[in-house]
Chain A
Amino acid sequence: MKGMKKYYTQKIMWYLLTLVFAVLLNFILPRLMPGDPVSTIASKSVEGMTDATAIQKVYEDYAAKFGINKPMYVQFFTWVKNALRGDFGISFSQYPRTVSDIISSSVLWTICLQLPAIIVGWILGNLLGAIAAYMKGVFDKAILPAFLFISNVPAFGMATVLLFVFSLKLHIAPAAGGYASSMIPHMSLAFMKSVLSHYQLPFWSIVIITIGGQAIGMRSMSIYELNADYVKYSRFLGIKDHTIVKYVFRNAMLPQITGLAMSLGTMIGGNLVAEMVFSYPGLGTTMLSAVTGQDYPLLSACTLIITIMVLLANLLVELLYAVIDPRVKASQQD
């Protein structure tokens, strides 16, 4: 157990370090480019102002807030200090809302959409992949090309397909938004119903895409495991096929967990774009409006939050994996 404690600490430390680098990148990358964002912010804020003293005042405010004239590292610490307090400044495009206010509501929508969708997609995908590997024959031959194709449809593509079929043609589900536009978010049955009906299409488009990719991976892992030596040995000891199948699928599933961790970033990125198709009130749509509104503070806060989310999810998956797979424990004992 001591080995595991060390393993966990190491993992957590590593992710903390990664976080530091991610934060650094989030700060430095835009500042390396021509057109310092802070000056841009300041000059944007004074657009249309004619009063010279007012302009001066705005510049001074920003100078104080971001420490424009101070050295880079001082700026960095000021920025980090503000960020830690949840202060990402004020949004340009949705003035006078603060960035943290906008982000905090959209983060919740995104998490509530993507987390269940990815988990459901992962489970269903693994199930179908395992079945395809085990049944072989017609089921496998029919389902494999379908999954292969689906796994190559981008998430936003699946989103538009579902939108077209189920919303525009069949009128089963609403096309856009997270809830009926006539409603104001509050806790009521009617609102929840509206949220749920708006939830379906984005949810299923993410689920289907996830299924495609996971099923392919699980299928080939299962085939690989079905040919493993322990399968043959277990058979020759008279163990029932369905017990052996359990071994196989458990073992085939384990690499799928690490695979999930590895591809989580790409997946979440793709799903955010799918959110935009539905104008879902999550981070994807917020990011789009930040770009179109030239809203730098909002955009950089979005990217930071997404990075933190991905890192957290990754860390969780890795820690979970260590509990499930005894091989991790074994490797710690050497």
Chain B
Amino acid sequence: MKNTIKQIFHSGKFVTGFVIFLAILLTIIIYPLVVAKDPLAMIGNGNFFKPGTYLSIQDTVNSGKTYKMNVDATASIVESKLTMDNRSMMAEWLEKYGGVDASEIDVTDAEGLIALWEEKYDPNAEQKGLIAAKKKKYQRLDNEIDGILEDVPTIIAEKNEETGELEEVQSIDSKQYINEKDVINRQNFVLGTDNFGRDVLTELISATGSSLKIGLVAGIIATVIGLFLGLLAGYLGGFVDNLILFFTNLFTVIPSFVLLILISYSVGESQRGIMMVALLIGITAWPWTTRSVRSQVISLRNRDHVNLSKLSGHSMLRIVLTDILPYVASYVVMAFILQISSGILAEAQLSMIGLGPATTKTATLGLMMQWATQYNAHLNGAWWAYFPVILVIALISFSLNLMNTGLDQVFNPQLRD
């Protein structure tokens, strides 16, 4: 036993999978201890805030501690204020009348473009074949650019309660800065927010926890049913075996996905909690385990040590428990690991059809996917609402499968490459 465990931990695949899985598990456990917010608290008002730190504007303005810097904040503002239409108009004029070579004009560089414009543009220059209206248009454009460059301070005003007029309290120019740390009210959304304005990261971690729980419960149920039926069929043989085999084959061919949809729909929303979904997944996922256990038991059934036990008059229960179970244990563990990962996937797919856990109190990976697609996150480019979820599903399944492959190579040496 000790030797087997040592061998298992010598398998690179198993260890890689194990480390990934452990990392996920530790995150689920440790994160809530550090960040104690409700994973489903709706913090933002509105859909899909992109990842980043959000500062309270009022706090920023009122923090009082401002710093003058010699760096002008307009530099980046120019980029955002100069529209694409204006840029192409500028480029056109510069090329036609400014005598600038097309290769020198870069419309993606707003500052450079404006510098060029300031240098070359002359409203009185000869502009051949240009109608007056167009000339006017260029002049307007020139004024507009001057406006962009001009540093107009933002004025903060307060309403005077007596006169009802606005009075200037503060004027903020583009060289005024504030230290991020002076702003008390900050919200950090590492992965943005979802459609309900909830912090995706916190939600994701709690969802991973509940999905793992679903996978685990579903896996246990499927394994217990599969093990029981497999042992029964393999050990008893004959009619019982035929019957169980028939149903096992039946349920391997009839897609469990379809059964799951039918049952989940019929159970109804009021009944469909997290545990119910796990149960449903479990009771539709047993055939694979049954198959593998059954074939193992059949190959064990006539081994000498089993026959010896039979001759010694041991009870069937004892033979199964002491002479058969230890030998199929490795297969059962491997099947169990796969059941967990397919259970998590099944929940995700079920939820995406709208038949997942009907709850607003807990998130699961599937529900997060469902919310994201329902609110068209995938069409709006709000990648943070679904990519992390997919990545987590893939990582869980990847790590579990790696562990399984590692175990398989230890238990079936001929598979080693």
Query: Is B390's CB under 8 angstroms from A29's CB?
Result: no
Are B255 and A21 touching (Cβ within 8 A)?
A: no
Report how far A165 CA is from B385 CA in the complex, Å.
15
27 A-B pairs in the complex with CB atoms less than 8 angstroms apart: A18-B249, A18-B250, A21-B254, A26-B262, A32-B266, A33-B266, A33-B267, A148-B402, A152-B397, A153-B390, A154-B345, A154-B348, A156-B348, A161-B390, A164-B381, A227-B414, A265-B252, A266-B256, A269-B258, A269-B349, A287-B353, A288-B354, A291-B354, A296-B265, A306-B255, A310-B253, A311-B254
Query: Which are the 7 A-B pairs with shortest beta-carbon distances?
Result: A269-B257, A265-B255, A33-B266, A157-B390, A152-B397, A30-B266, A291-B354
Q: What 0/1 pattern do residues 304 to 320 of A give for CB contact below 8 A with B? A: 00110011001000000
Q: Judge whether A303 is part of the interface by a CB distance below 8 angstroms.
A: yes
8 A Cβ contacts from A129-173 to B: 148-149, 151-154, 156-157, 160-161, 163-164, 168
| Cβ–Cβ < 8 Å partners of A269 in chain B | 255-258, 349
Q: Is A56 an interface residue (CB 8 A)?
A: no
Q: Are the C-beta atoms of A154 and B354 separated by less than 8 Å?
A: no
Q: Chain A: which residue is nearest B374 at the CB level? A: A292
* Known A-B contacts A32-B266, A175-B379, A310-B253; A154 and B258 likewise in contact (beta carbons under 8 Å): no
Task: Please state if A30 and B253 are interface contacts (CB–CB under 8 Å).
Answer: no
Task: Give the CA-CA distance A277 to B352 in the complex, in Å.
Answer: 9
Contacts of B266 in A (CB 8 A): 29-33, 35, 37
| Residue in B262, B394, B402 whose Cβ sees the most chain A Cβ within 10 Å | B262
Interface digits, A27-58 against B, CB 8 Å rule (1 contact, 0 not)? Answer: 00111111101000000000000000000000
Q: Could you say which of B254, B261, B373, B398 contacts A18, with CB atoms under 8 Å apart?
A: B254
CB closest residue in chain B, given A15? B253
B268 interface residue per 8 A CB criterion: yes
Q: Helix, strand, loop or mixed for chain B's interface?
A: helix
* Chain B count of residues within 8 A CB distance of the other chain: 45
Contact residues in B for A287 (Cβ distance below 8 Å) = 261, 353
Taking CB atoms, residues of chain B closer than 8 Å to A262 are 252
- Identify which of residues 364-388 in chain B touch chain A, using a CB-to-CB cut-off of 8 Å: 369, 373, 378-379, 381, 383, 386-387
Inter-chain CA distance A175–B380, complex, in Å, is 10
* Known A32-B266, A156-B369, A300-B262; contact A307-B398, beta-carbon cutoff 8 A: no
A15-B253, A160-B378 given; name 4 further pairs at CB < 8 Å. A154-B393, A220-B415, A273-B352, A314-B253
A residues within 8 A CB of B415? 220, 223-224
Which B residues touch A227, using CB under 8 A?
A: 414
Number of interface residues of A (CB under 8 A): 57
| In the assembled complex, B263 has its CB within 8 A of some CB on chain A | yes
Q: How far is the CA of A22 from the CA of B247 in the complex (A)?
A: 11
**Residue contact A311 to B253, C-beta cutoff 8 Å:** yes
Complex Cα–Cα for A194 and B378 (A): 21
Closest Cβ of chain A: how far from B351's Cβ, in Å? 10
Given A18-B253, A176-B379, A314-B253, CB of A306 within 8 Å of CB of B345: no
